[in-house]
Every structure is written in structure tokens, then in C-alpha cells.
Structure 1
């Protein structure tokens, strides 16, 4: 059984504190205010919370707090006038499982808390990133665990890094992780999208210019690479860099100096370069679109980002993280994802990777009309149907395999071994599919 922890937020109410003193069956932690409660929720795990509502508590702040921590099952303690105010009534209805008015009846309050604890335990644990992970990379799939280990090794070095991955896989997030885990974490992290800078400006943007270097250059300007001195420069979509700029970048990587546009003196810049591309640069070299010598300079250490379709175990955690990240935008009363929505997430192929998932969840959080986000809200209704068909197909295959084995005279032990499952799992499947047999006692 889970530890019965309770977060109490009396918001200065003496009646609220008295009510929370009745929670003897729980490990109750009291928060001084909403900021303190926020800190506690970041550092500890709570499934259940009790919060005081009603004036003079700040309604807007309380509502925002409850939106951002909707995975907690909340019980409201209502001050005398709270339920007379339509705004507080709507807040309790949208965000709380139950409510009590002062003075609190100890017996009824205890029953409510016990029921709420049991209800909370039916759901998933609050969405949290892996303990000790300060990379802000969500997930615990084998692909992500391996990626974190690789990024830690890469961060410990000083060599240039090349990150490859499909669009939307989180290449900039990985680059930031390398910077933040490195000895350069105290310096700047400057991200540059090489494909977003006009060709006529890219020399000046990257390397800077001196006063009078061109018409309109009334004063000198530090370039983006120089502005990252002491830190890391992230060159995203490096394959879009024009060939002449590739030559300048190669010179910088070799000599660690730059020449500002219109300048005559080299400027030494201490910066680590992390580059990324969704294009295989070796293919770009073969087409003559990328310099081979620059590729070798950049690709000292390489990282490959896994596509979302290879991270099925992370889908729910990512969706829950985005759901919480955009709590301020979502419709009131939306508490999470329906089972059909979660099935649709797993059935979808995710050509747009994590960026596509973020966009779908953000849109669904705003547009959902029910208590939970559905597959239709995510725009994945067809994937939900496909997931249901796949589930039924697997169930039919399981049923046929079990019946065939039993009709062939196999014992429970033999059949479980053949199917690669435990005997208890086999018994559960037989009960689920209503398969009766006279050989249950022949399992020795």
C-alpha cells in the first residue's frame, strides 16, 4: 500500500489548521502558503491535498495553483461565505473531488479522506522527471536512459559535438543538457538557427562587424559566436549554412579566432561548438552541399536523438508533462487523459516526434470539453480505433492459443511455459476470457 501522505494548505485559517489536525491516519505536511506548497510538491510526492478556499484567500492564485497541480486529488475546506460566491463554487466544482464546510465533522472528514486516498491510488503517480535528472529530458525508456548517459559523457569533454535527429526530437534540449552538465554551465548558451538567418546577413550575425563595415553600420556589433564566449554556441540546422560561411566556421574551429566583418585583427573566442542537423551530413557531403573537412571538425563527438516512435514507454509521461506545462491555458475542469486517448497516443506513428505531441496536447488542453482529453480532442480518433482493433485482435489470439493448448491436454504449467507467461498470468487470462477447464488441478 502507498504511503498515506497529505499536503495541507490552510492559507492562514485557524479553522483549516484545526481540521487538518484531525488527519491522524495521514502523514500530514502543512504548507505556509501557496509558494511553500509549490516547493513541497516539487520535492515530495503527494497524491492527496486539502486546501482552504474562500475569501480572503486570493481566488485567482488558488485557481492557478490547482490547475498546475491537477494530478493531486484535492479536498476543499470552505469558509462560511465560499459557497455563496459563484466563483468559488465553480473553482471547487472544477478542481476538487469533495468539500467540507467549517466546522468540520471529524468522522465525515475521515471518511472523505480515506475515500479520496483510495481514489487517488487508482490513478498514475504524479508526473515527475526521473530522480536526479536535471537535464529536463522527460522519460525513462531504454533509449532515453542511454541518451542521458551519453550526454553526461559528452558534457565532460571539450570537443565539438554533432547531434543528429529527425525534426522535433529535441536536439536543442540535448544541446542545452550538454552545456548545463559541462564545466561551461556558468557561461552563456547561445542558440543559432542557421537556416533562419538571411544569406546577406549571416556573416555579420555570426561573426559581428566593425563600424562602417557596410551601409548602415553606424557602430560595431558583437557577433553571436563571440557573445557565447566562455560558454556554448549551438548551431542548429548546420546543413543550411552556405558554403562560404562553412569555410569561415572551419577556420574558427581550427584557430579559435574570428574576424569581424570590416575588421583586420583576429579576435580570440573561447567557446564550445555544438551543432545539430536533421540531414545526414555525410549525404550532404556526397551532394557537394557540405564541406567534408568541416564535418570531421564538428563530428568529434556524436549524439543521435531517438525518434518518438522508439520511445513508446515515454509517451504518457511526456503528454502529462506538457499537460502540466500549459496548465494556464487549458480549459477549466480538464483533469487528464482518457484511456482511449492514451491508447491512441501509443498507436500513432508520430512523424513530427515530440514537437507534434506537444502541439496536440496543448491544443487538446484548450479545446477539450469533457473532464478528460479524448482521442478526438488530440486529433487521433482514427488511431484510437486502430488501437482498439489491435487490442481485440490480440485478445482473440490469446483466447485461441489458450483454448488450443488446453484442448491438446497440456497442463497449466506446460501451457504457461509455452506461452512465455507465469501460471498466475495464465489463470488471470483464463478468468478474463471466461475459459473453463477441467485440468486446473493438473498443474503439478
Structure 2
């Protein structure tokens, strides 16, 4: 396929991204139009042609190659890169290094660069792949297994009554933390977390889909699988992660279409195949992100773990935005919200609810979506004490305020103003709070 590429500098060329026409053929991409400025076109393949690692489980997607060629073309035009140059880039959270070399012009027919100008030449950019060898599939560290067992107890207790499990996703009554588990040593947690989704009521599934869409718009949540795979490979879990990928597709097909009529009843057309397909795809991405992260959660940085796991756990959190204790904001932020709630009193809490319900500006609701995304993916939530309270609306609003305080530097002055304006006439303390450093 051919896609025009644009950025702030408005490239004049296109990138042709070509699927290999046979199962054994690799994908590749090349530029069309650099010749107009007196330089050869650039070409890159999806898999390495150099080095000892053939990249059987690692390659550039068509999108990756387009972005790579787009970036390299500017340097090529400026003379910053020339034939014979080598350079490297890191990928997958720094776990993978790719070393590139710019070779002399190649045979356009051999490179299948059929769309370039007849008089143009084409320069292949070949590369080698460098990463740590695959690790051995070992048990979790003792501390990680202890934490996993406590987490399994907590998740299992929160499930409640479930419908019959889809085939292959039955829950064990006793967890087995063996590294030979179907999805690695964290299999009991993977299958239990999956049950939060396949066992959800239609309104709960719709809530988690909406949460995922909020997060996707804010953070591009679903482009993490390559990083998960690189981490899993280092721990000997790549086979388990691949099996999980395959099984997620089967799981989604087993339960989502049957729920579509109820999930989409009030928000779409359950008879529209495109809307059903969209729902299926969103749930698949939710499970890929969440279950993939859970399978390697003992190896993930805390920030990444919170970002990937929170929005599914919030399925059982009622109207709260807080998936669990790990997602609470700092003590200082929570204390500031406590003081604000105490200052406005019971009457002020009622006013907040009224103002929120009456808000009509699209920008207000857009910012609310961004704040909810932060609540579900970062340590930015609020509880009215050490445990969740009974007033879900108050807790939700307190969490939105805590998210704005926690991530104040992420939000523009205009976004803060959009959030605060509906309350200005009746709760002036809110603007004062959010403009005071914590």
C-alpha cells in the first residue's frame, strides 16, 4: 500500500509499504519522490539482512518502516546521512538495539522498487538486530510470588458470581505458580483477571470499553505488545506470551458477540456488523494490554504496571475511578483534597454534583475524560480515608481533582480553566486549590 507521510515539515514524498506476496517473503518499504530533490530513494526491509539474529520473532511493521523512512529522509536530504554511514536506534523500552547501515544504490528490480521514477536510483538501508539471548523460564522470585499470591486472593474475592467460563479459561480453586503454567508462572492471575472481563455484566463491559477509549485517546495504550514480548523473551516466557495472544482471540470470539446486543443497546446499533466488529476489536485490545501486562507484571516497572492493569480492575469499583490502593495519589495530594472537601462541607459537595451534572461545554467533558484516564492508569486517585467510601460521586470527583493536582504540568492553563469554570460561581475554592502548589 502507499501512504503519504506528513509531519510539521510537510514531506513532499510518499512511502510505499509493501506486503510480501508469499508467506516466506518479507515486507519492505521505500520512498517515492526524494529523486525530485536530486538524491536516491531510500529502501528498508521489515527483517534484518545483517548480523546473527534473524529476527524470527521481531520485525518492523509497515507503520514502523514508514516512520523510520520519514525520519531518515529529512537527514538524507540535509546531507546528515550519506552512503556508508552506520547508526543505531533502540526499541522496546531499550531492550532491543537495531544497527543500520546505508549501502550503495541497489538494483531497483531486485529490491522491487517498481514505483520510483524510471531514472531514479534506490539506496537500501540494511540492519542487524541486537538483544540479550532468550532467558530461562524460571519461577518468580520469592517476594514476587508472595505478592502474586496475595493479589490472587484479592482478585478472586472481588469476582463474585460468574457465568460458566469460556472453554480453556476455567479458574483453578488453588493457584499453581509453576513456570510451566499455560501462560507462565503468573497463569492464575492471568486467568482470574480475564474473568473480570468475560464475567462482566453488559453495563460493566461497556464501562471498561469506555474507560479504554478514554485511555487510548490520551495514551495510545495498545501499542505495548512488542515491549511485553521483549521482556518476556528475557525471562523465558515468550512462548507463553505467544500462546496468550492466540487464546485471547478465541476468548473474545467466544463471548463478546453474544453480549453485543445488550452492550450496544443504548449506545449503538447491535444489528450493525461494523459496530459489533469494533466492540470485538476494542475488547481484544483491552485483553491484550491487560493480560499481557499481568503475565509479566513481576518484571514490569511500577509505572507500566499501573498503566496497563488499572482500567480492567475498575470494572468492580462502582462509580469510583480508583482501581485499588496502588492507584492512590501521594499523601500530600490526598491531604490537599481532604482539606478541600472539609472546607466546602456537605452543602458544597451537593453543589459539586449539581454543577457537574449541569456542565455542557464539550471541553469540560474532554478534560474529564483525560483525568479519568489518569485515575485509571497512574497513582492519582483519592479515597475519603484509608478505604473506599460509600459516596461514589464524591469519590469520583475527589479523584478527578487529585489527578489534576498530581499531573498539573501535563494540563494546559486552558484545560485547567475548562475543568474549573463550571464551579467558579459557587465553589471558588476549587480554582484556588488547583493553582496552589502541593
- Tell me: higher relative CO, structure 1 or 2? Use CA pairs within 8 A at least 6 residues apart: 1
Which of 1 and 2 has greater Rg? 1
Q: TM-score category by the smaller chain?
A: under 0.3
Q: TM-score w.r.t. structure 2 length?
A: 0.26
